[in-house]
A and B are shown apart, each in its own frame.
Chain A
Amino acid sequence: MRITIACPTGLSDDANQLAMVLGQGAADGETFGALTWAGADGATYAVASLDTGPDFLDRATQPLTRPAWDLRPYLISMAGAARAQAALRVWTEGQGAQPEAVPQATPDALVAVVGLPGLEAIAAMGLRRVEVELA
């Protein structure tokens, strides 16, 4: 199951806390990095896309627990992860009798598209690659 998440600038810190909670370690704190995608309004986004198991969405939407690897002094801000979780807006392909349109990426939410190929999901969210000279 492919999940693709568009993260606006203002949510990237919190989103990376959530990525560590749902991921495997501290390195997942770099999940949302460079803002290389842009919406029609010019707002920029970091995008992560991955194949996940069926339990991923359950874990992402249920009460969060600190992973066992995060020992004192804690690395993860669970408050930040909770804020990111609250901002999560999930769209799943084929859900419902009359599926809603894919939500557009927006500066106030983490939009997650489930079931579409990554690049297709990005296009459906209204994002295009920012053609920049990447360092």
Chain B
Amino acid sequence: MKFVTDFTLASRPLRVGRAGAPPAPFVGLQSDIWLDPSDLTTLFQDAAGTTPVTTAGQSVALIRDKSGKGNHGLQAVVARRPIYRVDEAGNGYLEGDGIDDNIIGTMTVPFGPGWTICAALRRGANTGMHSVLGVQSDGNINNYLRIRADSSERLVLMTRVLDADIDRVTTTSANGSFPGTGTSIVSVFLRATPGNNEVRINGTLATALTTPSNWPASLALGASIKMDVFGDFPASANQRFYGMMVFRRILSAAETAATEAYLAARSGVTL
């Protein structure tokens, strides 16, 4: 089955393909991190990128960024590496053990006008509060945004700024358990200017969190920002990671829909 959209951006067609299709999801939509576990040519068993992943069941130390920006996902510690697997539909993904596994993509600052993070995830067994995705400054680990699921499977957004008290908002996602009982497409919008950060699940707005007053300057204290694919170690998620695209800007509605459609096709989700 082939999935094609006719979104048009900058007078050029956007094409969306499922696993096995050509790697570029849409012409003209430039991401800053693009991790695609379905593409075996991007997966390596060692951090140096010399031993490729060739079959399911092998651990992944490096997943190369397909955005062209060089923001690769890395895990140098052997015990923290997720496992490459293939689901019943033939879609490749990384499996985190919910204990210590993680992949960390690094982006250089500045933060820019905001970020959009779109990811395809499938939660495993409920093991209590755990992180789903995380963003933190490399200059101060106490400056972060966490996207978590609690033991009641509610979506939890947490921010911490300049070591100040934790500013936490807990809310139940609009379309059921977070990030859902099946595979879910999670989109997060982090605005640099005052306003709301938003989380969409499978194309629907799930919740909003008012931007802290000193956000995101605090997050950019260091030279780069770390994007935790399985959330923040050591609260790593017991989940499947089908892919992620990160943009150093707020996507338009059409761009968001196209990105979510691409990730949905990659992970077997019907939006």
Please report A residues at the B interface, Cβ cutoff 8 Å. 4, 19, 23-25, 27-28, 30-31, 33-34, 36, 46-51, 118-119, 122, 129, 131, 133-135
Known pairs A51-B83, A119-B125; A31 contacts B77 (CB<8 A): yes
State whether A135 touches B142 (Cβ < 8 A). yes
In the bound complex, CA of A30 to CA of B46 (Å): 16
Q: What residues of A have a CB within 8 angstroms of the CB of B77 in the complex?
A: 23, 27-28, 30-31
Known pairs A27-B77, A31-B77, A49-B79; A134 contacts B99 (CB<8 A): no
Shortest beta-carbon distance from A33 to chain B in Å: 6
Shortest beta-carbon distance from B6 to chain A in Å: 43
Please report B residues at the A interface, Cβ cutoff 8 Å. 46-47, 57, 59, 76-81, 83, 97-101, 125, 127-129, 141-142, 160, 166, 232-235, 238
State whether A134 touches B97 (Cβ < 8 A). no
State whether B128 touches A131 (Cβ < 8 A). yes
State whether A19 touches B142 (Cβ < 8 A). no
Q: What residues of A have a CB within 8 angstroms of the CB of B47 in the complex?
A: 24-25, 27
Q: What residues of A have a CB within 8 angstroms of the CB of B83 in the complex?
A: 51
Q: What residues of A have a CB within 8 angstroms of the CB of B127 in the complex?
A: 119, 129
State whether A47 touches B233 (Cβ < 8 A). no
State whether B97 touches A49 (Cβ < 8 A). yes
State whether B76 touches A25 (Cβ < 8 A). yes
In the bound complex, CA of A28 to CA of B141 (Å): 20
- Count A-B contacts at CB 8 Å: 72
Shortest beta-carbon distance from B199 to chain A in Å: 20
In the bound complex, CA of A28 to CA of B125 (Å): 28
State whether B99 touches A33 (Cβ < 8 A). no
Q: What residues of B have a CB within 8 angstroms of the CB of A46 in the complex?
A: 234
Main SS class of interface, A: mixed
Query: Could you say which of B59, B76, B234 contacts A51, with CB atoms under 8 Å apart?
Result: B59
Query: Could you say which of A27, A36, A49, A129 contacts B76, with CB atoms under 8 Å apart?
Result: A27
Q: What residues of A have a CB within 8 angstroms of the CB of B238 in the complex?
A: 119
Closest B residue by C-beta to A35: B234
Q: What residues of A have a CB within 8 angstroms of the CB of B234 in the complex?
A: 33-34, 36, 46, 134
In the bound complex, CA of A119 to CA of B57 (Å): 18
In the bound complex, CA of A36 to CA of B59 (Å): 23
Main SS class of interface, B: loop
Closest B residue by C-beta to A134: B235
Query: Could you say which of B76, B98, B160 contacts A119, with CB atoms under 8 Å apart?
Result: B98
State whether A19 touches B79 (Cβ < 8 A). yes
Q: What residues of A have a CB within 8 angstroms of the CB of B142 in the complex?
A: 135
Closest A residue by C-beta to B141: A135
Q: What residues of A have a CB within 8 angstroms of the CB of B160 in the complex?
A: 135
In the bound complex, CA of A33 to CA of B270 (Å): 39
In the bound complex, CA of A122 to CA of B127 (Å): 11
In the bound complex, CA of A19 to CA of B166 (Å): 34
State whether B233 touches A50 (Cβ < 8 A). no
Q: What residues of A have a CB within 8 angstroms of the CB of B235 in the complex?
A: 36, 134
In the bound complex, CA of A27 to CA of B76 (Å): 6
List 15 interface pairs A-B (beta carbons < 8 Å), by A numbering. A4-B99, A27-B77, A28-B79, A30-B77, A33-B234, A48-B99, A49-B79, A49-B101, A50-B80, A51-B57, A51-B59, A119-B98, A119-B125, A119-B127, A119-B238
Q: What residues of B have a CB within 8 angstroms of the CB of A33 in the complex?
A: 100, 233-234
Q: What residues of B have a CB within 8 angstroms of the CB of A4 in the complex?
A: 99
In the bound complex, CA of A131 to CA of B156 (Å): 14
Known pairs A33-B234, A129-B127, A129-B128; A28 contacts B100 (CB<8 A): no
Known pairs A24-B78, A31-B79, A129-B127; A49 contacts B46 (CB<8 A): no
Query: Could you say which of A19, A118, A129, A131 contacts B97, with CB atoms under 8 Å apart?
Result: A118
State whether B166 touches A133 (Cβ < 8 A). yes
Please indicate which of the listed interface residues A28, A33, A50 has the most CB atoms of chain B within 10 Å of its own CB.
A50
